[in-house]
Structure 1
Amino acid sequence: MKFAKLAVSAIALSVLVACQSTAPSQTQSTKVSNRSSGVNVAKAPEQFNDSDISVPAFFNTQGLENCTFDVDNEHPACPLKKPIVRMYFSGTDVGGEGQGVDALRAYDDTQLLFMLENQFSGINRYRIVTRDDAVIDAESATVLEQQGAAKAADYFSGSGPLLPDYVVKIDTLRTVKNEGSITGWMDYTLELTAATINPRTREIMSYPNLGKVRVKSEEVRDRSELKFIMANNRYVSGFRYNDSAHVNAVINDMASRGIDILLTRMLSEIPASAQVLGIKGDQISLDRGQNAGVLPNETMIVFQYEAGFVEPIGVARVQPSINSANGTIVRWKNSRLADQIERSASNGIYRPSNGVKIFAISVGTPAGFLENRT
């Protein structure tokens, strides 16, 4: 299941799919009540058992040698070529009964769109075409004012907006339920459903499959903050459920959590991949870094690739620079191959030879990424 087989883009990076009960455990899930969506993050390398050190399904290392990392002229055979994407908040529906429905209906999705653009561009696995026309228009006016018409025309000549390979459509459903007659609580639910569309063929793509995200207000606000008091069927005090500013603040926090969950799913569906140049002791050197979407504290499986066969070697923690990365193999696989490489690396620098290649592939959102970067 690769984008390269479905459309023109070469987005076919290594894909992580949901693990079955017999599969190794490389991520961990936080459980949230009331059918809310949880956040999946990669386990730290120290938490891996030997059986967890396994290459994720549907990885793709074919054609990595073709990558040039020229963002405007990347080789079409490079599996790390970043698709150009434009994002939309499309269908919006509001449901619920009783108090607060009107204020919920007044919520504007525009800020959600810009939040989504900013978060997804930060993982460096897509090229995002912004829909923030107000900022672009303001900058164009500033260039014209400061540089004059001739320089402004020269500055903008020969360039134009990027044409998207895909569009990502987010549909939202916002619902509200209030419990109690005199003393009550507002319970909000936000559902986000994502779809990737090929604008040339109008095909809804099956990959990446981000699914549906459900967020409840109790995850971002203590329930006591949403308490209100009524008298004679009229608002008296507490949470101002009819004030759109107060409602917007709650929905914004819920949306931020929902986007975080979508982001973690994207990082699992489209992992980062790099080639290992050498191993010295427990240290590894990678030929790609932030330019290939490798994130700080990335948990990566290190494996050997030869003649179509793969064999895991260990699990590492990786820190990227712009164009490369270095890491530490925290746990070696219990295998003859891993033992041989470990011994060779302990006596100097081990470099693959004779057509053998060693790669590293990420297994999901690094621990601490959401707290530190979103």
Structure 2
Amino acid sequence: MNKLKSFSCSLLAIAVLAGCQSTKPASQTNKAKVSNRASSAIVAKSAYDFSDDDIRMPAYFDTQGLDLCTFEPGNEHPDCPLKKPIVRMYFDGAEVGGEGQGVNALRAYEDKDLLLMLENQFAGINRFRIVTQDDDLIAIENTIASAQQGAGYVIDQRRKQQVLKPDYLVKLDSLRTVKNEGSITGWMDYTLELTTAVLNPFTREKMSHPNLGKIRVKSEDVRDRSELKFVMASNRYVSGFRYFDSAHVNAVINDMASRGIDILLTRMLSEMPATTQVLGIKGNKLSLDRGQNAGVMPNETMIVFSYEAGFVEPLGVAHVMPSKNHATGEIVRWKDTDIADAIKAKAEAGIYRPGNGVKIFAVSVGTPADFLENRT
């Protein structure tokens, strides 16, 4: 028998999505400071830093529909929460404001490059299927394929491989502003604000989830302020940052947009977590049925939980590394509950394989801590 617990635990209903009740708040993420005057990225806390109270179901994860899952990544039931949503992205960068020098060059910014950057970043995390709007490249490739393989080949491939139909539209609106300070020696201060809307393309509804909020990036977050310094004489440009040259301005805005998209991704990764099914547990080692194909990322922190008849029970926190179609992990800390203790004992005696209506899953708690350094 285990010693009497300081708090009692029970299986909770789906709507609760929490583990053992505790007076201490759970903490599963850390704030990665980008700037004290700009939006910050929120990244997952390392599994090795979790306390028992932190081992709870993460926010935004919904177990409803798990009974419908086929556990076939390429052929999931549409109502299965493990199905990757199909997304088409839009970027609207029309709004420009400011005062003083440099507003005209800011208006000349080319937004299409930002849209393609957005598509590339979202496709790279592999939790969504992105319908690209790079129509120019698609048209060029179809022309080449038709010339090399024949028009019949292109028609046949189009018939076999239907264009993806988006489940959601993700639209980014941006506001770019500029102001400059100083009369002889001045500095350009740029601000980029991004807001996101998620829409159902068929009902025209603006969805409340995921709610990514507003992201604000300042030029000083990506460039040393001295790089944006310029000198004027008799109200004419003399030297320094070429605030009137759209190429120079675009370079700064591109860096700001890249930072904003990075922050956007960390929020999206928290609100739409990766989930895998646990095939077996041996000691503290996990075997998982999905990997990069389901958006599991290197050094992922994941909560391991059991699921039975619509009830969930957190079992532990794991550090997970994916391969292409599978993943392995290590339970760094087991939850201090009778259910977790029983499964741990079976795993220590051999390979524990869930059965008798019980399934075990692992769900990510947010962006891996090294994602911003190594993947963006």
- TM-score norm. by structure 2 comes to 0.89
Q: Distance in 2 between matches of 1:351 and 1:154?
A: 44
Whether the 8 Å CA contact 1:273–1:361 is kept in 2: the answer is: yes
Q: Distance in 2 between matches of 1:159 and 1:279?
A: 38
Deviates more, 1:189-198 or 1:336-345: 336-345
For 2:77, the equivalent position in structure 1 comes to: 75
Q: Deviations over 1:197-248 (max 9, x none)?
A: 1111111111111111100111100111111111111111111111111110
Any unmatched runs of 5+ in structure 1? 1-13
For 1:169, the equivalent position in structure 2 comes to: 171
Whether the 8 Å CA contact 1:64–1:79 is kept in 2: the answer is: no
Q: Give the counterpart of 1:332 among 323, 334, 337.
A: 334
- Structure-to-structure mapping, 1:6-155, within 5 angstroms: 23-33=25-35, 35-61=37-63, 62-63=65-66, 66-69=69-72, 71=74, 73-90=75-92, 92-155=94-157
Q: Distance in 1 between matches of 2:67 and 2:148?
A: 44
Q: Distance in 1 between matches of 2:351 and 2:68?
A: 22
Call closer, same or farther: CA 1:64–1:220 in 2, change over 3 Å: farther
Q: Using the aligned pairs only, state the percent identity.
A: 69
Whether the 8 Å CA contact 2:73–2:293 is kept in 1: the answer is: no
| Pairwise CA distance, 1:323 | 2.3
Q: Deviations over 1:167-222 (max 9, x none)?
A: 11110100011111111111100001110111111111111111111001111001
Whether the 8 Å CA contact 2:61–2:271 is kept in 1: the answer is: no
- Give secondary structure in 2 for the equivalent of 1:221: coil
Deviates more, 1:253-262 or 1:49-58: 49-58
Q: Distance in 2 between matches of 1:116 and 1:15?
A: 32
Call closer, same or farther: CA 1:310–1:160 in 2, change over 3 Å: closer
Call closer, same or farther: CA 1:189–1:151 in 2, change over 3 Å: same
Q: Give the counterpart of 1:311 among 310, 313, 328.
A: 313
Q: Distance in 2 between matches of 1:248 and 1:58?
A: 36
The number of residues matched between the two structures is 356
Whether the 8 Å CA contact 2:84–2:129 is kept in 1: the answer is: yes
Is 2:183 aligned against 1:178? no
For 1:7, the equivalent position in structure 2 comes to: none
Q: Distance in 1 between matches of 2:313 and 2:159?
A: 51
Any unmatched runs of 5+ in structure 2? 1-15
Q: Give the counterpart of 1:294 among 296, 299, 303.
A: 296
Q: Distance in 1 between matches of 2:144 and 2:293?
A: 30
Whether the 8 Å CA contact 2:281–2:352 is kept in 1: the answer is: yes
Q: Deviations over 1:67-120 (max 9, x none)?
A: 25363x532232222222111112521111001111111001100000000111
Q: Structure 1 stretches (4+) deviating beyond 4 angstroms?
A: none
The CA RMSD measured in Å over matched residues stands at 2.1
